[in-house]
């Protein structure tokens, strides 16, 4: 019975979070400076059951502006880590505190295992598309690169023509 009541409370809590964060994200998207500052958080998990991991990971992904994209294997003596991308990461400690709150809603038993948000690892998100395929990096960059290449070829043709003219004279 306790599990059913917890599930119902959690359902209403996560729906409220999704709605609140959804509106916040939508309003941010309408501002000229949306505040998007993506980061990757290496969140140390206090939960360990498959069911809890499933619900926590799914809840993070269902909440607008965050995405759970994997777990890292346990290192002996260290907790399992969940990788989370947060779109609005200008204050990483707030992101970590929000993740800790969500984890405590999934499994209230972890409230007695506090997490210090300042100790959780994070890094700015970096886009590596240009390393994979330079032409696919950015359509604008690709068009600019093509324009520069055309100009360079035109200059080379012009120099060849000038040299040919000098040789004839």
Sign (positive or negative) of CA dihedral 148, 149, 154, 156: positive
Contact yes or no for 56/102 (Cβ under 8 A): yes
Contact yes or no for 100/89 (Cβ under 8 A): no
Strand 81-86 with 121-124, pairing? unpaired
N-term to C-term CA, the chain: 100
What's the token pair of residue 162?
């000038």
Length of the chain, please? 169
Give residues with Cβ within 8 angstroms of 164, minimum separation 6. Answer: none
Q: Render pLDDT for 149-166 as a digit per residue (tens, 0 to 9).
A: 777 787 778 878 888 888
Residues of the chain with pLDDT under 70: 1, 127-145
**Cα–Cα distance between 146 and 141 in angstroms, integer?**
9
Q: Minimal CA–CA distance to 22: which of 106, 100, 87?
A: 87
């Amino acid at each position: 019975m306790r599990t059913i009541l917890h599930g119902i409370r959690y359902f209403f809590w996560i729906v409220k979070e999704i709605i609140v964060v959804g509106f916040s994200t939508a309003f941010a998207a309408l501002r000229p400076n949306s505040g998007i500052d993506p980061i990757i958080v290496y969140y140390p998990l206090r939960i360990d059951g498959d069911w809890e991991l499933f619900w926590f990971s799914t809840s993070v992904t269902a909440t607008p502006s965050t995405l759970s994209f994997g777990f890292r294997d346990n290192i002996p003596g260290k907790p399992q880590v969940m990788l989370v991308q947060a779109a609005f990461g200008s204050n990483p400690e707030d992101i970590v505190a929000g993740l800790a709150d969500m984890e405590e809603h999934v499994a209230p038993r972890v409230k007695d295992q506090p997490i210090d948000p300042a100790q959780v690892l994070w890094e700015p998100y970096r886009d590596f598309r240009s390393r994979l395929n330079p032409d696919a990096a950015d359509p604008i960059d690709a068009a600019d690169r093509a324009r520069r290449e055309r100009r360079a070829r035109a200059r080379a043709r012009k120099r060849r023509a000038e040299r040919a003219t000098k040789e004839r004279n």
